[in-house]
Structure 1
Amino acid sequence: MSGLEAGVATVTPLATRRRPAWHQATVASATMETPSSRRIVLDVPTWPGNDAGQHLDLRLTAEDGYQATRSYSIASQGPGTRVTLAVDRVDDGEVSPFLVDAIEVGDALEVHGPLGGWFVWRPTPGDPRPVQLIAGGSGIVPLVAMVSAHAAAGDQAPFRLLAAVRTPDDVFFRPEIDAARTASAPLEVTVVYSRRAPEGAAEPAGRLTRAALAEAVFPPDAGALTYVCGSTSFVEQVLGWLGELGHDTADLRAERFGGTS
């Protein structure tokens, strides 16, 4: 995801601060995630770990010295020196076509991070507050890190994920989501398909509507902490609907992506 932008709600200090720095990274694996995106796992020996929902800056340097830097959400979380990204191709972009179509195992690049101390989720033992995750397309990347953190901790706060995608082929991180659904921590998942629904689906394909959103998310009186991530237009539409439905804006955290990539 590139061009990250935060909005809504206030900054919540992290229990553990990790000072951002530039790190040398090597591509450990690169596999197609969807027809237009690639899952890239980086080996970063000096990486200090990151919280679910944080992002990093990735810098490429050409042979002639030209550099390009873009921001990407991190799909992995916790301690360790392996960092997982999922990059969606923007056909006229400068960086994403290389990362999706050309990058190879063993390639070297630089990352700066971890970044962001606000659009994060950390397990809080004994806190039953529900958490609602809403993703548009590749906006699921930082949210799947929250899903993984929730499952790994066995956290009992109710979790719901609403993902809007074009087709079944466009679902990111399906194995991680399926694993979380069967974990001891509760997770409910709703997927809305705008162009083609799976065979036998209960609902036909169609864009996310306010009525469908209201049915899928926690009701306003549940006081859920809600994270919304996707394109600027998707996020603005969802935030508008949530407000109309009576959700408290103080409970909403949003991250948008857009611009060049």
Structure 2
Amino acid sequence: MAGTALRRRLGHRRLTARLVETRDETATARTLRFAVPGWPGHLAGQHADVRLTAEDGYTAQRSYSLSAPADGEFVELTVQLVPDGEVSPYLVRDIEVGDEVELLGPLGGWFVWRPEQPGPVLLIGGGSGIAPLRAMLRARSAASPPFRLLYSVRTPSDVYFAGELDSPDVTLLYTREAPDGVERTPHRIDAADLTAYGLPAAEEPTCYVCGPTSFVETVTGLLIDAAHDPARVRAERFGG
């Protein structure tokens, strides 16, 4: 019902998107900025489907989170390379400024943050799951409630949006290798991390968790074990 109401308000459409800018995030991930005439706007946390059509008519379609808040008729997607994928290799390695793709969106109405939403916000991302959370961070204003981001990554070279995350509201949790000066020993996120760096259940934050399926299942379980209200825990997962 929520998704239907949102689509009525914003209206998802199938549109032509022209690439205007690219930025490498890691050795295997890239942010793509598209000009999309007719784009109806979106909420932080929504996603869009990218459709590619080959010369012989074969089509492939994949869904990607919108990694920046609404900005007129411009849309940003951040794509992680899947070596045997049908869409991500083209988007990460081959597409060039001026090229066009077909975009369907905006999609999704559950995993979103609205500016009028009350209460603090706890964002927890794993790997490329940072993409929609980055849109939420950038959509907030000085009047927004407190935000806290925990970002789990393997090594410093795997951090997306590195230049934007130097903030007391952001904690990087390394699982394999940490930079010099970081006291936390690299390990997968655990209950102690949520206590040390997150927001307590008593503050009633809305929690957004995004990443691989196993990561999301672990983190949502930790949040519920820590007495967070399951109704305030929203999850977006991908992969196996």
TM-score by length of 2: 0.93
- Residue matched to 1:256: 237
Residue from 15, 19, 25 that aligns with 2:17: 25
- Residue matched to 1:158: 146
Could you give the per-residue CA deviations for residues 64-84 of structure 1, whole angstroms, max 9, x where no partner exists?
111000000001212411111
Shift of residue 175 of structure 1?
2.7
Give the Cα–Cα distance (whole angstroms) in 1 for the partners of residues 73 and 203 of structure 2: 37
Change (3 A) 1:16 1:223: farther
Shift of residue 11 of structure 1?
4.3
Give the Cα–Cα distance (whole angstroms) in 2 for the partners of residues 38 and 226 of structure 1: 26
Contact 2:148–2:170 (CA<8 Å) still a contact in 1? yes
Q: Does 1:100 align with 2:92?
A: yes
Residue from 202, 205, 211 that aligns with 2:183: 202
- Residue matched to 2:82: 90
- Residue matched to 1:147: 137
Give the Cα–Cα distance (whole angstroms) in 2 for the partners of residues 42 and 70 of structure 1: 16
Shift of residue 102 of structure 1?
1.1
Residue from 56, 61, 64 that aligns with 1:69: 61
Shift of residue 154 of structure 1?
1.8
Unaligned runs of 5+ in 2: none
2:41 partner amino acid: G
RMSD: 1.9
1:40 partner amino acid: L
Give the Cα–Cα distance (whole angstroms) in 2 for the partners of residues 155 and 149 of structure 1: 11
- Residue matched to 1:41: 33
1:169 partner amino acid: S
Could you give the per-residue CA deviations for residues 234-254 of structure 1, whole angstroms, max 9, x where no partner exists?
000101111111111011010
2:108 partner amino acid: G
Give aligned-pair identity as a percent.
Answer: 50
Give the Cα–Cα distance (whole angstroms) in 2 for the partners of residues 208 and 116 of structure 1: 27
Structure 1 residue ranges, 4+ long, deviating more than 2 angstroms after superposition: 10-16, 174-178
Residue from 222, 238, 246 that aligns with 2:227: 246
1:251 partner amino acid: R
Give the Cα–Cα distance (whole angstroms) in 1 for the partners of residues 114 and 73 of structure 2: 19
- Residue matched to 1:6: none
Task: Tell me how many residue pairs correspond in the alignment.
Answer: 239
1:175 partner amino acid: G
Q: Does 1:233 align with 2:222?
A: no
Give the Cα–Cα distance (whole angstroms) in 1 for the partners of residues 72 and 8 of structure 2: 15
TM-score by length of 1: 0.86
Change (3 A) 1:132 1:207: same
Q: Does 1:174 align with 2:162?
A: yes
1:144 partner amino acid: R
Unaligned runs of 5+ in 1: 1-9, 182-186
- Residue matched to 2:109: 117
Could you give the per-residue CA deviations for residues 4-47 of structure 1, whole angstroms, max 9, x where no partner exists?
xxxxxx94865982111100011111221111101111111111
Give the Cα–Cα distance (whole angstroms) in 2 for the partners of residues 24 and 200 of structure 1: 46
